[in-house]
A and B are shown apart, each in its own frame.
Chain A
Amino acid sequence: MVQRLQSGKNSDAAFKELVDLYKERLYWQIRNIVKNHDDADDVLQNTFIKIFRNISNFKGESKLFSWLYRIATNEAITFLNSRSQKMQVSNEELQDKLIDNLQSDIFFEGSEIQLKLQKAIATLPEKQRLVFNMRYFQDLKYQDIAEILQVTESSLKSNYHHAVKKVEAFLKDD
C-alpha cells in the first residue's frame, strides 16, 4: 500500500483504501484525547490531509500503523494546545472544561461511572493520559504504544502502572 501511495499511480485509490482501513482506529485515538466529536472530526480530517501530503516522506523505518497513529496523536495534542492558548487557560484547566462539557454532550452517553472515569483520566499528566487511553480503551500492545510514542517499553509500563494507581485512587476517594 505504501508503494502504491508513493508511486503516484493509483495513489488516490490507495489513499482511499488507507482512509477506510484506519479512519475508525485513528478517530478513537483522537476522540479519547480531544473528547468532543466535532473537534475529533476536524482533527481526523487534518490528520489524513497531513498523511496524504507527507506519505512521500515515510521511510518505512517504523510501521505504517505507528506512523499514522503518531501523526494523529500529534495533531490532537497540537489542537488542544492551540485551544488552551486561545482560551488563555492552562492545559489542566482545559481538561476540566472538556470534562464539564461532557455532561451536556449529546455524543457522550456514559454512565455515572464512565463520567467519573473520564474525570479521573483528566487528572493524569499528559503522557500517562495518552498511555492509559491507548492501553485501556483501545487495547493496544505495549510494543505498539512504545513505537507510536517513541519511548521504551519499560518506561511505558511504568507510566501505565502509575496511571492505573492514580485512577483507582481517584475513583476510591471521589
Chain B
Amino acid sequence: MKKQQTSQSKETGFKIPPGYFEEFDARLSEKLQNKHLPERKLQSGFEVPKNYFNDFRVEIPAKKEGKVISLFSKRNLKYAMAIAAIFVLMFSILPDDAQQENDFSTIEQASLGTYLENNIAEFPLLENILMENNQLNEPEFKNLDKELLFNYLTEHSTEISLANY
C-alpha cells in the first residue's frame, strides 16, 4: 500500500505526488467550504444568556380600563346650569319678530283707534308741515284768483297725472 502511494504503479505507469492521499481529505473539505453551503450542522452562532429559557416569564400587562366619568358630578352640574341660564336670558332679552307680527295682527280695532287718538299729536299732518314751511301763508297764494287757479290745474292735469307714473 505504502509503495502504491509513494511510487509509480507498475501496471499503468502513472505517478502521484508524495502524500497526495493523506492531504486529499483536508483539501476536499476546504473546497467544499469555499464553494458550497456549509452542512446543516453549522449553527447560526447566536447565543442566549445563561438560564434565559428557564427564567423566561411572560408578563401580561393588565388591561387598561376606561375611566368612568359621572354625568352628574358637581362640576358638570355647574356647567349645565350655566348653559341653561344663558339660554333663559337669551330668550327673555332678545325680541322675537315672528311673535310680534302675530301680535300686531290680533290687535283689536278699538284698541288701535284709542291709541291713535291719544297719540295723534305725535304724527304731524301734511297741513301742519306746509304751514311750518310758510308755503300757504305766502301773500301771493292767499290773493290767488280761484278761476285762474282752476284753469291752470285743468291745463296741467295731464302732466301731473303722467308724472305720477
Chain A interface residues toward B at CB < 8 A? 15, 19, 23-24, 27-28, 31-32, 35, 37, 41, 44-45, 48-49, 52, 102, 107-111, 113-115, 117-118, 136-137, 139, 164, 167-168, 171-172
Contacts and interface: CB of A to CB of B under 8 A. Distances in A.
A116 B34 CA distance: 11
Interface of B: 33-38, 40, 42-49, 52-53, 56, 58-61
A67 to B, nearest CB: 17
B53 A24 contact: yes
A124 B35 CA distance: 18
Contacts of A31: 44, 46
Main secondary structure of the interface of B (DSSP, over half): loop
B39 to A, nearest CB: 10
B46 A168 contact: no
Contacts, number: 71
Contacts of B61: 49
Main secondary structure of the interface of A (DSSP, over half): helix
A110 B56 CA distance: 24
A82 B47 CA distance: 24
24 contacts: A19-B56, A19-B58, A28-B46, A32-B44, A37-B49, A45-B58, A49-B60, A49-B61, A52-B60, A107-B48, A108-B46, A109-B47, A110-B43, A110-B44, A113-B38, A114-B43, A114-B44, A114-B45, A115-B45, A118-B44, A137-B43, A137-B44, A168-B35, A171-B35
